[in-house]
Every structure is written in C-alpha cells, then in structure tokens.
Chains A and B, each alone.
Chain A
C-alpha cells in the first residue's frame, strides 16, 4: 500500500512515538504574531525557558496594528501598543526575525511567509493562529496551535501531536468564469458542515485544484480550519516550484536543485488509502455567499435563505439564532440584499491576484452611494506591487479606502469596526457573531463578488460584470 502526502510528511518529521495515538513531531519553522506570540514569549521567559533555535522562528506584526497610512505603535484598539512593544522586545531578546511595522515586508503572517519563501514544501510549520493551514497550499504540513503549544514548539522544536486521520477531497472539472477557490471551499463546508473535516488532515486534489494558481490554492487551504480540519494541504507541482524560485528565503544554487528535486517527489502514491474521500463537481459550481453566522451557512448566489427546519435539532437551534442575528427571512433570495459596507482583505483574499480580480470589476465604476468600502492589501509588498500596476487608483477612484497592511477589520479587537448591526460583504473567512464589529452582519464571498456587490450596493452575482 502506498503512502499519502500527509503520511510521508508525518513520517519524515516523527522523532518518536509517545503512545498509541500521539507522536513527537519535529517542527521546521515557527511563526508568531503580536497577538498571541507576545504571550507565548513572555510566558516562556517567565518560566526561564529559552527559544531553542531562533534562526527558524519568525514573527509578524499584523493582528492589532492600525492600517491607516500614517500609523505608529499607538493603535485605535485600546492597549494595542502593549502587544506591539512586548512583541518587539521579546523577539529582539530571543533573536527572532521580526517583520516590524516599519519593515517594507510587513504584512499578514500567512501572506508574508509564502511571499518571502519561508514556507516550503515538505516542511512542518506551526503558528499560534488558526489560519496557518493556508500555508499547506505549498505542500507543507502547516497547522494552527495555541499559545502553550507555541511555547512547546519554541522551547523543544517539537510538538506532541495526536495523529489526524486522512481525507482527500477531489475537486473535479474546471471552474466557470467568475467562480474561484473561495467558492470551492465555501461550497465544501456548506455541503459537509463546519465540522465536516474534524479530526482529518485534508488533501485537496483534482483538476480544479491543479488549475488554481498558487495564491488561489492558499485561499482554498486557508479555510480548511473553517471545515474544522487539522489542516489542508496540496501536493507541490511545477507551479509550486516556480512560485518559490528567487524568493528571499528560498534556497539558491546547488541547494535549490537539491530542494526542488525533493519537492517534486512529494506526491501521494497512486495506491494510497485515505480514511475518507469526498468529491465536488466544480463544473456546475456558482459563486457562493454566506447568509448566517457559520461558514457552513453558505449558498450559491442564485439561492435563498434556507428554512432552519430542514436539519436536525441542535443544528436547527444554531440556524434559528443565525437568522435572527442576520435579520433575514426564510425564503428570501440572497442576491439583492442591501449592504452597508464591503471589505477586501485578510489572509484569505488579500494577495495581488485577489486585488487584480477585484480591480477588474471596479475599473471605471463607483461603489454605491453611502456604502463604505475598504481594501487592505495582505502585505506591504502586495500594496507596493498593486501601486506599481496602478490598482490603488482603481480602488480609490471607485470609492474604496486604500490601506496599509494588517489583519484589520477581519475581526474586531476593540478598535476599528463596521458599526452596530451594519451589513458587510467581506472576503474574510469568519462570519461569526460580532466578529467584524458589535452585532455586525457579515456575508463571506470572493473578491469579485465583494467588488460587484460594492458597485451595486447589494449582494450581487459577479458574473454580471465579467
């Protein structure tokens, strides 16, 4: 019997077995950010423990930094400065590479790491951030952990991990115009539930996945955690190798050849067995949007708000609460719902390809009167690239605010937010209650749908603009 990619990566990193279920797994890279990394580092220091190999630890300032053009350590989030200052002093003391506020490479951790070539195929990489699974798009075993686990990884370069089961999701066929990786993952979660991937490491495969560019693959893997998966991953191919070549942290010369040869072997064997296999037909997939307060509350753009009674009772309680919170009526078509705001950003959809797609809809158009629209590039390098292509002008002329990089209004930390009960269409990953502001009503969608909806002022099928 052959081995799956996950199995190969697991075996490659297993130091030793701890018991029947748990292995001690070697960790190649640790990423931190100022929100949870600051606590992990200060706790480690308080316990008198050192970072074992700081050369392989990186940190981003992204979570609670302001994204106004003129920003400093002072934040609109009360006490945000404490997190920034603590992170700076702890990373300096430990010898950890920090992408600080004034660094031209600053940005969201899961955008910065691939952009710099820090994550590479075949690695294990962890970060105290649930969206670390994003980086599985490069064929790495990357997953989110808590602060205590981060301390463990920093101090010992290992983690004690219960081995997940394996799942393979085949995305068959090609995507139609206006349909994207965001729609693939929202549809998967809506079909199989927000806990559909619970306990599994999920490999995404199939024609539609092969055809995605690297950034779209990151979008797909980003929301594996919204499927409750241990992580998502995609086997590296020539696109992966080409993406990494020339990146600042990628190997060079002879080491590059050696690495690339190894990466090309990182595929699941043809006869490998998975604990679960799912198939999704992409040919008939339409753009998706969420109506409720869980990512599983998604529907195609031609759909309507479903009745809560169609499902079992515990699930029904959640759906009824979601309908009340979102102020939606059963049977109401989702397209045409009036909006207060539109947001393009986050580790899900803030890379240059996302901005190019949104700009293709916005070019020569204006956002609807009274609608607040914000674009936050995923890194300062993405921002610079967009500006070099003139995309900033497209966004600004359309009526979007053009920001510096950070996690921004993907979540409300006490600073900037969309306002009480405001209805927002957003390229982010979580539509939880009050996630983007006090009782803010979030609809998740792809960058093109957010751009099209911003122009119309209501939830809109992006294909009308393409």
Chain B
C-alpha cells in the first residue's frame, strides 16, 4: 500500500508548548474503539479538547478549538513529543484530524517511526527556534503560515529560513511515499540467505 508523500507543506501551526506530550494524551485508550486505523480523528487530544467526554463539549481554552488556529495542519511542541505507549493510533488520529507535521525538539522513538510509516513528518528543531516560530504565528495564525520544505530541509516562517536535519532513510520514505514492506521485499534474496545461514549458526532457535 503506497503512502501519502510529504514533499512541501504550508499550513497553520498550532502551539502545544510543553514537554512529554504522551500518546495517551494524543489518543486516550478509551477512544480506540474499533479494530481499525480509521475513526480516530474525533478522539484526538480528547482529554484536553473536550470539557465533557460523553457529550464532546469543546473546551475553548484548548488551542485546536480556537478560531485563530482553525484548520491547523502543523503542531509546535516541546521535547519528547509522542513518548509513552507505542499505539500507532496516535499518528492515525493526528493524520485524520489533518496534521501533516509536528515540530518539536525531540520525539518518542516509536512515535517517530510510526510517523514515517504514515506520511507524517516528525521534524526536530531547537526549542528557541520553535518558540520564535510560535510567537510569529501567534500574531495572526491564519495568515502567518509555516512552510516546510522537506527536500531542501528548511522551515520558512517569520521571514527566516530555519534549516533542520532529518534521517536520510526517513526523508526518502516520506518524499517518495514509499511502502516500506514492498521496498524490503526487493531484498528477499538477501533475507532468505540470511535466514538459512542463521538456521545453521543458531539451530536451537528454529
């Protein structure tokens, strides 16, 4: 199954500027109701987004409920975003809501891998730069859009180009929208040979 590509993206960036936003907060377990990757957008940040969980009464204090940030497709956050549970539902929920990229000083490693597998960019940047972008966006979030250029590895905001580094493997997967399984299956001969060799080397494992 081919993945949605991520090349260049311009969008409204919403700030959740604190560290350790965990995947339980991104998608509470109670929102994972079906054996499916779909139907999760409504549960995104449910604990913070709604004042009442049953009737889904939106909390006006929460950034994604504010008119200024309506239509946000980029999140700005603190260190260790997506830490905790491995639930890929966190990425599926973000994606279904319309988030294409998260800019943070660091990510939970399982979350970051899950992003790559779903065409979502987990972009690492220093917290001073992130704060600077957030301050500029806050002046008029609907107009002050953030542009991410993945091939060029720059974020354009506040009339400044912020360079960022990215793992080359992840970049290629995202820019080309590659299916990791199909890509690996082109290495089948090597995998098979390794498998047979390992049976000889560590026979008790088989």
**Chain A contact residues, CB within 8 Å of chain B:** 15-16, 18-22, 24, 26, 28, 35-36, 38-39, 42-43, 47, 49, 53, 56, 77-79, 82-83, 86, 120, 122-123, 128-130, 144-149, 151-152, 155-158, 160, 162, 164, 194-195, 198-199, 225-226, 228, 230, 251, 255-256, 258-259, 262, 294, 296, 314-315, 317-318, 321, 411-414, 430, 432-435, 438
Chain A residues in 8 Å Cβ range of B30: 77, 412-414
Interface check B85, CB cutoff 8 A: yes
Whether the pair A26, B203 counts as a contact (CB closer than 8 A) is no
A411 to B28, CA, bound (A): 9
Known: A156-B185, A226-B84, A258-B203. 8 other contacts (CB 8 A): A39-B37, A77-B30, A144-B110, A152-B181, A160-B180, A162-B167, A195-B83, A318-B19
A129 to B194, CA, bound (A): 26
A73 to B181, CA, bound (A): 33
Interface check B88, CB cutoff 8 A: yes
Question: Looking at the complex, which of B57-65, B94-102, B113-121, B152-160 is the stretch in contact with chain A?
Answer: B113-121
**Chain B contact residues, CB within 8 Å of chain A:** 1, 17-20, 22, 24-25, 28-30, 32-37, 47, 53, 78-80, 83-88, 91, 106, 108-110, 113-114, 117-118, 127, 167-170, 172, 180-181, 183-185, 187-188, 190-191, 194-195, 198, 202-205
Whether the pair A413, B169 counts as a contact (CB closer than 8 A) is no
Whether the pair A16, B184 counts as a contact (CB closer than 8 A) is no
Chain A to chain B contacts (Cβ below 8 Å), 5 pairs? A22-B168, A156-B185, A164-B109, A194-B83, A226-B84
- Residue of B35, B47, B117, B180 near A433 (CB, 8 A) is B47
When C-beta atoms are compared, the residue in chain B nearest to A413 turns out to be: B29
Chain B residues in 8 Å Cβ range of A411: 24, 29, 85
**What's the nearest-Cβ distance from chain B to residue A235, in Å?**
18
Chain B residues in 8 Å Cβ range of A152: 180-181, 184
When C-beta atoms are compared, the residue in chain A nearest to B16 turns out to be: A317
Whether the pair B113, A149 counts as a contact (CB closer than 8 A) is yes
Of A79, A147, A251, the most chain B CB neighbours within 10 A belong to A147
A351 to B6, CA, bound (A): 45
Whether the pair A318, B78 counts as a contact (CB closer than 8 A) is yes
- Residue of B25, B28, B79, B127 near A195 (CB, 8 A) is B79
Whether the pair A228, B108 counts as a contact (CB closer than 8 A) is yes
A59 to B168, CA, bound (A): 34
Report the 8 A-B pairs with minimum CB-CB distance, sorted nearest first: A414-B30, A148-B117, A146-B114, A251-B204, A146-B88, A22-B169, A195-B80, A317-B18
Whether the pair B167, A317 counts as a contact (CB closer than 8 A) is no
Chain B residues in 8 Å Cβ range of A21: 167-169
Given contacts A15-B187, A147-B88, A158-B191, contact A430 B108 (CB under 8 A): no
When C-beta atoms are compared, the residue in chain B nearest to A429 turns out to be: B84
Chain B residues in 8 Å Cβ range of A433: 24-25, 47
When C-beta atoms are compared, the residue in chain A nearest to B168 turns out to be: A19
- Residue of A18, A82, A86 near B169 (CB, 8 A) is A18
A37 to B172, CA, bound (A): 27
Given contacts A21-B169, A83-B35, contact A16 B187 (CB under 8 A): yes
- Residue of A145, A157, A434 near B47 (CB, 8 A) is A434
**What's the nearest-Cβ distance from chain B to residue A383, in Å?**
24
When C-beta atoms are compared, the residue in chain B nearest to A39 turns out to be: B35
Whether the pair A36, B87 counts as a contact (CB closer than 8 A) is yes
Chain A residues in 8 Å Cβ range of B185: 155-156
Chain B residues in 8 Å Cβ range of A412: 28-30
Whether the pair B86, A79 counts as a contact (CB closer than 8 A) is no
Given contacts A24-B187, A123-B205, contact A39 B36 (CB under 8 A): yes
Whether the pair B84, A255 counts as a contact (CB closer than 8 A) is no
A236 to B20, CA, bound (A): 33
A144 to B170, CA, bound (A): 18
